[in-house]
Chain A
């Protein structure tokens, strides 16, 4: 049962990921990505990580992708032509190294065996959300806060970029 579900979810994930980058109509790309997010969430549920699954949907499907769709429609992008971005060599480089890393990790043999103090049974007992919360806010508090700081910096950067004219005027004054 679980294996059948996994095969279904993984297959749809891969197909939708390919469709996301290969379909011509931008709105279809977004919809393919949305379908993929849902199936990734399904994979998390199979791994007993309900919290992660729901957060995946809230953050990626519910917030980020809606914004993508919103901007896409506001700008009314309708590209009918296919073209390679000029940065494609970098893309190939990154893709190649990630693939190499994954293949290496798979051949290592420790895949799926390593388990820390939070085994499936332990998580079942204290609850998935509680386990993540405890771990995040006791052992990984600093990295967590640093990550939020990085996001804040990116946000301010985006505001500065969009308000560029305003800030230049302000400096002139």
Chain B
């Protein structure tokens, strides 16, 4: 393929993926409010559009027109940059997410992924780690005790649970023998006995549970939302933010949720692969979307179910339970792979 059409295809892919991600973020906020409402026997947003379907757009417009306030005594440059540092990693992670098998559209070939990096998984971890800087710096630059404490809590939490998250996926890497997310997905094709899909969740159940717990903690969601615990810290690290800057933090949080859910579907649930051969007529991106939405629903579900844990419980659980369990799982997996290969 010549360079011109290659650039064009990539740009179109980026535009489509970003569009879908941002739309999902918008409707994730709507879904969250609706699902939580139903769980609490309420109706949720109903006024804007039919069943309140246009609510996210109204919210977005409202945030756009709000006044932008910078607190006195804040570090202006870092205060302005922090939301961007937070949002960019959440969005560029999607560059290596394979959303479909390779396909042909209008005579142009698409790989089904913006960039099939051979270190794709590590790339996601590298950029996801950068989100912590946005949170810490935002908290620090606000010149506010609440924001500062929220930022510090968030940093401690992200550092602790990133380890467990990393360990939990090493087992999957051992099984598929690659860091490329496309290869990881392709390795999960096919079925056992004709009806059980060859997904990693069946080989790595412990890792899947550990990953999901770590993912909830990484994205600062209930029951691990210590960095923004309303009753203690008002809103945590973005207490002082308003208007567009606030919405950037908001976008980052939901973008991260979608990213870790996408990653979980790819690593453990077969990504864009259909669960059974008879269902292969449904295109791959539909499967990825279904799996990701199932996990996103799970995020909302546990938010509606569990109370917040205490900070010392959070740290103790991360370091003394989750990391040893994932390490043990890694050891067992390594032994299993060694025996199987010989």
**Interface, chain A (partner B; CB < 8 A):** 27, 31, 34, 50-51, 54-55, 57-58, 61-63, 66-67, 69-70, 73-74, 127-129
* Cα separation A66 to B130 with both chains bound (whole Å): 9
Q: Are B118 and A73 in contact (CB under 8 A)?
A: no
A residues in contact with B132, CB < 8 Å: 62, 66
* Cα separation A27 to B81 with both chains bound (whole Å): 14
A residues in contact with B122, CB < 8 Å: 51, 54-55, 58
Q: Are B133 and A73 in contact (CB under 8 A)?
A: no
User: Could you tell me the distance in whole angstroms from the C-beta of A121 to the nearest C-beta in chain B?
Assistant: 16
**A62 nearest in chain B by CB position:** B129
Does B148 have its Cβ within 8 Å of any Cβ on chain A? yes
Q: Are A57 and B129 in contact (CB under 8 A)?
A: yes
The 8 A CB mask of B131-153 against A (1 = contact, 0 = none) is 01100110010000000100110
CB-based closest 7 A-B pairs: A62-B129, A57-B126, A54-B122, A58-B126, A50-B119, A70-B155, A54-B119
The 8 A CB mask of B44-83 against A (1 = contact, 0 = none) is 0000000000000000000000000000000000100000
**14 A-B pairs (CB sep. < 8 Å):** A31-B78, A34-B133, A54-B126, A61-B129, A62-B162, A66-B129, A66-B132, A69-B136, A69-B155, A70-B159, A73-B140, A73-B148, A73-B152, A127-B118
* Cα separation A27 to B143 with both chains bound (whole Å): 14
A residues in contact with B125, CB < 8 Å: 54, 58, 62
* Cα separation A128 to B120 with both chains bound (whole Å): 12
* Cα separation A129 to B156 with both chains bound (whole Å): 30
The 8 A CB mask of B100-128 against A (1 = contact, 0 = none) is 00000000000000000111001101110
* Cα separation A53 to B136 with both chains bound (whole Å): 24
Q: Are B133 and A69 in contact (CB under 8 A)?
A: yes
Q: A129 and B140 in contact (CB under 8 A), knowing A34-B133, A58-B129, A66-B133?
A: no
User: Could you tell me the distance in whole angstroms from the C-beta of B196 to the nearest C-beta in chain A?
Assistant: 30
Q: Are B133 and A50 in contact (CB under 8 A)?
A: no
Known contacts A70-B136, A128-B119, A129-B179, then 20 further A-B pairs from the complex at CB < 8 Å, ordered by chain A residue = A27-B78, A50-B117, A50-B118, A50-B119, A51-B119, A54-B122, A54-B125, A54-B126, A55-B122, A57-B127, A58-B129, A62-B129, A62-B132, A62-B162, A63-B162, A66-B129, A69-B136, A69-B137, A70-B152, A73-B152
**Interface, chain B (partner A; CB < 8 A):** 78, 117-119, 122-123, 125-127, 129-130, 132-133, 136-137, 140, 148, 151-152, 155-156, 158-159, 162, 179
* Cα separation A17 to B296 with both chains bound (whole Å): 42
* Cα separation A131 to B272 with both chains bound (whole Å): 29
**B128 nearest in chain A by CB position:** A62
* Cα separation A51 to B158 with both chains bound (whole Å): 23
Contact of B130 among A61, A69, A128 (CB under 8 A): A61
**A69 nearest in chain B by CB position:** B136
User: Could you tell me the distance in whole angstroms from the C-beta of A120 to the nearest C-beta in chain B?
Assistant: 15
Q: Is the interface of A mostly helix, strand, loop or mixed?
A: helix
Q: Are A128 and B118 in contact (CB under 8 A)?
A: yes
User: Could you tell me the distance in whole angstroms from the C-beta of B187 to the nearest C-beta in chain A?
Assistant: 15
**B121 nearest in chain A by CB position:** A54
* Cα separation A74 to B155 with both chains bound (whole Å): 11
A residues in contact with B140, CB < 8 Å: 27, 73
* Cα separation A70 to B133 with both chains bound (whole Å): 10
Contact of B136 among A50, A51, A66, A129 (CB under 8 A): A66
**B122 nearest in chain A by CB position:** A54
B residues in contact with A54, CB < 8 Å: 119, 122-123, 125-126
**B81 nearest in chain A by CB position:** A31
Contact of B119 among A34, A63, A67, A129 (CB under 8 A): A129
**A73 nearest in chain B by CB position:** B140
* Cα separation A62 to B126 with both chains bound (whole Å): 7
User: Could you tell me the distance in whole angstroms from the C-beta of B158 to the nearest C-beta in chain A?
Assistant: 8
A residues in contact with B117, CB < 8 Å: 50
User: Could you tell me the distance in whole angstroms from the C-beta of A30 to the nearest C-beta in chain B?
Assistant: 9
A residues in contact with B155, CB < 8 Å: 66, 69-70
A residues in contact with B148, CB < 8 Å: 73
* Cα separation A128 to B179 with both chains bound (whole Å): 11
* Cα separation A58 to B130 with both chains bound (whole Å): 9
B residues in contact with A62, CB < 8 Å: 125-126, 129-130, 132, 162
* Cα separation A127 to B183 with both chains bound (whole Å): 13
* Cα separation A58 to B152 with both chains bound (whole Å): 20
* Cα separation A54 to B180 with both chains bound (whole Å): 13
Q: Are B136 and A73 in contact (CB under 8 A)?
A: yes
Contact of A63 among B136, B151, B159, B179 (CB under 8 A): B159
